Amino acid sequence: MAIENVVETDVLVIGGSIAGCFAAIKAREQGLDVTIVDKAYAGKSGAGFAAGMGYMVFNPEWGLDLDACMKAINIKGEYINNREWTEIVFRDSWARYQDLLSWGAEFPVEEDTLLVKDFLPFGVVRIKRRKITPLLRSQTVKSGIKIIDRVMVNDLLKQDGKVVGAIGFPMDSEELYIFKAKATVLSAGYNSFKPAGAEICSLTGDGEAMAYRVGAEITCKEFPDVGNYGMNPYPAWRGGRGSRACFRYYTDAYGQEVKTHHQYESDLTLEFAMHAGRGPILWDIDSATPEEVDRMRKRMQHSDALESERIGFDPGHGGKFLQAGGGAAGAPNAQTAGVWPVNTKCATSIPGLYVAGECCGTRYLGAYHPAPGFGLTGSSVTGSRAGLGAAEYAQQAEEPVIGDKELSVLKRITYAPMEHKGGFSPRWVTQVLQNTMIPYFVLHIKHEKRLQAVLTVIEFLRDHLVPKLIARDNHELRLAHETKNMVLNAEMILRCSLLRTESRGQHYREDYPRRDDPAWLAWVKLRDEQGQMKLEKVPIPREWWPDLSQPYEERYPKRFPGE
């Protein structure tokens, strides 16, 4: 029988990402007891540092205009961004930037500090992302926040319709953790399918899965991340990522250029080229001019990459590098998918539960990710608001009471894989899941027949393999719960993709290759209803619609094949 550790706190933060640290610090500033629990290492974990090249800051003194910024997001997000949240993130970004500066964050000043101001109306400053990790941790400790590392929270505790804590287990010992909290903040990152070599491989949609199981609403799972990081046969080799950010020249098997990240073309162009039988696709540095090589070298110098990541790579040597894809498999469009917040304090539909960061579905960027830096900023903003919202709730809440029946059920669920004498290895089930979901013709180039076929397989995994997962130790127990959560997230992705019968932003339906206005000026929202996944379409406010009298080509500058 596992030793039980009971941790009582005013505010529990699950996930020690940049969002989680902001939430904990802001709640602690209200004079409350705060605890962070993370299945990895608080401060270092999370999605932000997988791609954190910059930090978006809105400051009128830099010559930035709010109306221009809003308009750019509206157009690039293809009009389904939540404009209330878009404006909130812009307006709050300066205060969060000042927080980071006051804590000792480094934002290098150089010629192109404002990374994208030249071609978009945004201010994105460079950030020393590897120095942010210890900074967040030290600031959290300095604030008097309790940190519990290497404990996986697998389920939320719910009593009388309210979330009153969580249950979890450590990686290193036969123990059980029971967290009693007046308010709980989920900042556990987004989902991925553990793509090989990518930094997001520990993000398995735990937050969304836990929230779904207690009845919270989830949104916008149909929009995938189409980022090209990790796109080579050896994804752990990241030496060229900084260069790929500023030089994107690809050729196909016939030596023809495959344009990508172009103003008038979808970011799925590499996938479209593969779909057309033009693979393999090569990143072609041989085509770079001396000026482009120099720019790549500078980008590598300032990319904050480890020296070990640069070994063996010099843009000046040229070369053609095979692109394999899958680096962001299962990840959503940043700051779009997640648990639906019911107000600007990041509360959910379940009292006592708040969300922050990448598992907070603010939809502030809509259907498309516009530029580097927006993920970190959005996470800082929602983290701060969730921390303050949770603190306000906790100050009025009664001491949490957890019923023996509820606790007994969740204990049994927690350790079920270790009780099974036979069944299926979580590693093997994860491999089946990856083989099923990661192909480009499932996640990126979608069609009803393929989505339905894959959904049938995922339902089989859910009903027949997940209940029979086995674990021999606490590490495999973590893998079992992660596999369970990934399968649930896969079902969400497929069902949302089937419901949205159009193409928009980073969601492409081969059988519906155009945007459908006004029918799909809407969000998809889902929740558990008596064991069934119920989906609904939520129209965006009419005042946020684009001008439908404009020609389609003017409303939507980016083209899909067949348009």
**DSSP string across 434-449:** HHHH-SHHHHTEE-HH
Q: Which of the 8 DSSP states describes residue 415?
A: H
pLDDT of the residue at 504: 96
- CB within 8 Å of 67: residues ≥ 6 apart: none
- Coil, strand or helix at 370: coil
pLDDT of the residue at 146: 98
H or E, element range at 124: strand 124-126
| Alpha helix positions (H), 13-57 | 18-28, 48-51
The C-alpha atoms of residue 164 and residue 156 are separated, in whole angstroms, by 8
What is the dihedral angle through the alpha carbons of 42, 44, 49, 54, rounded to the nearest 10 degrees?
90
- Coil, strand or helix at 154: strand
Q: What are the distances in angstroms from CA 388 to CA 303, 335, 511? A: 33, 19, 45
Tens digit of pLDDT per residue, the chain (563 long)? 578 899 999 999 999 999 999 999 999 999 999 999 999 988 887 765 554 567 899 989 888 899 999 999 999 999 999 999 999 999 999 999 999 999 998 877 654 445 544 446 778 887 776 678 788 999 999 999 999 999 999 999 999 999 999 999 998 888 899 999 999 999 999 999 998 766 677 899 999 999 999 999 999 999 998 764 444 444 444 445 566 667 778 899 999 988 775 555 567 888 888 899 998 888 888 999 999 888 887 766 655 554 445 555 678 888 888 776 666 788 898 889 999 999 999 999 999 999 999 999 999 999 988 877 899 999 999 999 999 999 999 999 999 988 888 899 999 999 999 999 999 999 999 999 999 999 989 999 999 999 999 999 999 999 999 999 999 999 999 999 999 999 999 999 999 999 999 999 999 999 999 999 999 999 999 999 999 999 999 999 999 999 999 999 999 988 887 67
pLDDT of the residue at 551: 95
Contact, 525 vs 217, CB < 8 A?
yes
State the Rg of the chain over Cα. Answer: 23
Domains of the chain and CATH, by start: 241-323 (no CATH), 404-518 (1.20.58.100)
In one-letter notation, the amino acid at residue 517 is D
H or E, element range at 319: none
Burial 519-556 (b: 16+ CB within 10 A, else e): ebbbbbbbbbeeeeeebeeeebeeeeebeeeeeeeebb
- Tokens 């940049």 appear where? 18
pLDDT of the residue at 492: 98
H or E, element range at 537: strand 532-539
What is the dihedral angle through the alpha carbons of 264, 265, 266, 267, rounded to the nearest 10 degrees?
-110
The sign of the CA dihedral 359, 365, 366, 368 is negative
In the structure, how many helices (H) and strands (E) does the chain have? Answer: 17, 19
Cα 88–chain centre separation: 19
For residue 114, count CB atoms less than 10 angstroms from its CB and return exposed for 0-12, middle for 13-18, buried for 19 or more.
middle
Contact, 361 vs 341, CB < 8 A?
yes
The sign of the CA dihedral 301, 302, 303, 304 is positive
pLDDT of the residue at 227: 62
In one-letter notation, the amino acid at residue 335 is Q
pLDDT of the residue at 173: 86
Residue 515: name the closest of 72, 75, 87 by CA: 75
The C-alpha atoms of residue 340 and residue 167 are separated, in whole angstroms, by 22
Beta bridge partners of 523: 538
In one-letter notation, the amino acid at residue 1 is M
Q: What are the distances in angstroms from CA 203 to CA 23, 59, 195, 208, 369? A: 19, 32, 10, 11, 19
Structure tokens at 430: 């994860």
Structure tokens at 209: 């899965």
Contact, 495 vs 474, CB < 8 A?
no
Residue 236: name the closest of 308, 179, 298 by CA: 308
pLDDT of the residue at 296: 80
The C-alpha atoms of residue 520 and residue 84 are separated, in whole angstroms, by 19
pLDDT of the residue at 232: 46
Contact, 32 vs 60, CB < 8 A?
no
Structure tokens at 351: 């009292």
- CB within 8 Å of 22: residues ≥ 6 apart: 96, 99, 356, 379, 380, 383, 384, 387
Q: For the chain, what's the residue count? A: 563
The C-alpha atoms of residue 291 and residue 544 are separated, in whole angstroms, by 42
Preceding peptide of 60 cis, ω within 30°: no
- Coil, strand or helix at 385: helix
The C-alpha atoms of residue 165 and residue 159 are separated, in whole angstroms, by 9
- At residue 386's C-alpha, the angle toward residues 384 and 388, to 5°, is 70
Question: DSSP characters for 187-230?
Answer: ----B----TT-TTTT-BSHHHHHHHHTT--EE-TT-B----TT
pLDDT of the residue at 202: 83
